[in-house]
Amino acid sequence: MTELLNIGRNRAQESTNAIERMYITMRHLFIRGFYKPMGVSGETLREALLTLRPEIYGSIGESKVELSGLQYIIERLPEGIEECSFINLTSDEGYSNSHFKPIIPPKRRRNCYRIDEEQMNIEITRGRSEIYDILTHLTFMFIESHKIMQNVVINEAGHTSRDWEKLSVAVSKFGDLTQKEKEIAITHTANILGRTFAEINQVYDRFATLENPNKFLHLIHSLGKLAIREAIRGDKRVITFSPIVRERLGHHIHGEVWANTIKKTLHKHGLLNRKLHIISANMHSVMNTLYSPLALEDMLKEKSNFEVYEQLSNAKNDKLRETVTKKALQEGMITLDDKSGTNIDVQIFDLAKLSHYKGDKGLNGKKDAPVIIVMDYAFGEQAYETMDELLKPYKDKEEQVYMNVDSISIMGKAGILQGGKGDLMIPDAHLFEGTADNYPFPNELKKSDFEGQGLGVYDGSMVTVLGTSLQNRDLLKFFHDSTWNVIGLEMEGAHYQKAIQAAAKLRSNISPEVKLRYAYYASDNPLETGSTLASGGLGTAGVKPTYLITEKILEQIFNDAVQNLKS
């Protein structure tokens, strides 16, 4: 038993060391300004990732090409990046005012620009975490591309296999492939990837787009083509960092503009001196919880709240969502679409204009009614930048106006280390991975608040990780089994708490008595095979936990507000 524990500990230590090497290397390469991912300069990154073998990247350490991991990164990188030999990470440098059309990845809100056939520019406006995320995904993509190359190049002269020639013919065909042509191409591709026909068939449509239903074939061909060119002709792919992004990183440029816009809007509408409740969440759950009972009253006579929320979450029900949004705008909602580059939209709710909440009209028309600020999800270290700037006092001419922040609530998705997708985590501390930093806090939300709802509920510590795509089973199992009592992992908690504690207890920007509410719902379980982020999203299974947390946060805000008005 002791020997098994030591093996587990050693693997966890190896994983920790690999993560540290990756981040030190990434910072070094960023300062240097460029590197070749499959050259000598990228060797440390490749070796560390292969040592780590994160769960999300599946079979990265094997000769067969990893399919689910490939789908995961392609959804988070710009369309066409697999065709580019030159990838340039930039700041917001004016491309939005050019003829270049922004390319926004489906699962990551960032502007990217295809400069020409060979070059892709990716805008970095969300801090170091965004750079780490991109470089990790690119390293994985390049490793997989070289697997393809090694499986098709048959001699030193650069001759390729028959399977590769057949795939090349299929992707060069104009128009749609017939079912027969598609299945022949899949057969050859399966040989190239070291996968079965059934495995390729299963994932094929997940890569498809409206413009290119055969995108999977084109993706594999483009990755292999550049890797072959690199191996045979020495045309190395290059990643560069623009001088502007290297100069601006860490200076809170985008966060400051974002926060000032919010405070100017509060001042303009006479809300700056009211009690403020900040919620980090998505852009639909608070609005739907507050206003769907008003806008969809007839529907709620026949359906439960959660059935209505599910319909509102369906992308096909645009008109239904428009009905709720229209009602919200009539009764106190102000929307701030982001123009700062943070990619964090904001909603402001003046509860004095809300006609009633669950039948209670207690706050309607009251000049002291609180205001709710909902900010969309931050990304990694960006959480510190945005919260730090938001909690600073507003400068009105020469006067500093301190905001009356009564509570801060953080609702988010996280990986769970026990239980399954959709279950809830109620933390009492955040531990920052790779450091000795830990942030215990009193959480207004309790495990008992969510019991009896048909979902698993767990309380304990959460690990704030440097990147969800770098976690492996051994490291997470160590966290879970240790006396740290870790229940899950996410990317923002410690960064939010660092900013909140500094504002409340050191800089006196907000009250030290500010109420904190943290709750997460499980998007994946990285300790369970087939339940990682690469296995797909929550779908409608995420509706119930999202709205349970939202309702509990709002219930506490309203109860406090009514009590304050009575006193």
> Per-residue confidence of the chain (567 residues) as pLDDT tens digits?
444 445 555 778 888 888 889 989 999 999 999 999 999 999 999 999 999 998 889 899 999 999 999 999 999 999 999 999 999 999 999 998 999 999 999 999 899 999 999 999 999 998 899 999 999 999 999 999 999 999 999 988 889 999 999 999 999 988 889 999 999 999 999 999 999 999 999 999 999 998 899 999 999 999 999 999 999 999 999 999 999 999 988 888 899 999 999 999 999 999 999 999 999 999 999 999 999 999 999 898 899 899 999 999 988 899 999 999 999 999 999 999 999 999 999 999 999 999 999 888 889 889 899 999 999 999 999 999 999 999 999 988 778 999 999 999 999 999 999 888 899 999 999 999 878 899 999 999 999 999 999 999 999 999 999 887 777 788 888 888 888 889 999 999 999 999 999 999 999 999 999 999 999 999 888 877 555 656 555 567 789 999 999 999 999 999 999 888 776
Closest by Cα among 526, 525, 427 to 484: 427
Question: What gap in Å lies between CA 94 and CA 108, rounded to an integer?
Answer: 20
The pair phi, psi for residue 329, each rounded to 5°, is: -65, -30
Question: What gap in Å lies between CA 173 and CA 165, rounded to an integer?
Answer: 13
| HSE-CB for 491 with a 13 A CA cutoff | 22
What length is written for the chain? 567
Question: Are 165 and 414 in contact, with CB atoms under 8 Å apart?
Answer: no
CA distances from 198 to 71, 119, 154, 313, 531 (A): 17, 35, 26, 32, 20
Encoded amino acid at 197, one letter: F
Question: Are 398 and 430 in contact, with CB atoms under 8 Å apart?
Answer: no
Judging by DSSP bridges, how do beta strands 394-396 and 399-401 pair with one another? antiparallel
Question: What gap in Å lies between CA 426 and CA 111, rounded to an integer?
Answer: 34
Question: What gap in Å lies between CA 46 and CA 229, rounded to an integer?
Answer: 19
Tell me what pLDDT residue 567 has: 65
Tell me what pLDDT residue 82 has: 97
Encoded amino acid at 27, one letter: R
Question: What gap in Å lies between CA 486 and CA 288, rounded to an integer?
Answer: 32
Tokens 């006196």 sit at which residue? 508
Closest by Cα among 128, 123, 84 to 103: 123
Tell me what pLDDT residue 19 has: 87
CB-based contacts of 304, cutoff 8 Å, min separation 6: none
Question: What gap in Å lies between CA 554 and CA 552, rounded to an integer?
Answer: 5
Question: What gap in Å lies between CA 357 and CA 287, rounded to an integer?
Answer: 12
DSSP one-letter string for 365-404 = T-TT--EEEEE----TTHHHHHHHHHTSPEEETTEEE--E
Encoded amino acid at 164, one letter: W
Q: By three-state DSSP, how is residue 456 classified?
A: coil
Tokens read off for 302? 């026949």
For residue 367, what is the DSSP state?
A: T
Tokens 């020495």 sit at which residue? 234
Tokens read off for 300? 């709620």
| HSE-CB for 155 with a 13 A CA cutoff | 3
CB-based contacts of 2, cutoff 8 Å, min separation 6: none
119 DSSP β-pair partners: 86
CA distances from 388 to 252, 431, 503 (A): 9, 19, 7
Judging by DSSP bridges, how do beta strands 86-90 and 238-241 pair with one another? parallel
How much helix, strand and coil, in percent to the nearest 5, is found in the chain? Answer: 50, 15, 35
Tokens 């119930």 sit at which residue? 544
DSSP one-letter string for 274-308 = SEEEEEE--SSHHHHHHHHHHHTHHHHHHS-HHHH
Question: What gap in Å lies between CA 469 and CA 472, rounded to an integer?
Answer: 9
Judging by DSSP bridges, how do beta strands 34-35 and 515-524 pair with one another? unpaired
Tell me what pLDDT residue 348 has: 98
For residue 481, what is the DSSP state?
A: H
Tell me what pLDDT residue 315 has: 82
159 DSSP β-pair partners: none
DSSP one-letter string for 406-439 = EEEEEEEEEEESSS-TT-EEEEEEEEETTSS-EE
SS3 letters for 79-145?
Answer: CCHHHCCEEEEECCCCHHHCCCCCECCCCCCCCEEECCCCEEEEECCCCHHHHHHHHHHHHHHHHHH
Question: What gap in Å lies between CA 264 and CA 91, rounded to an integer?
Answer: 25
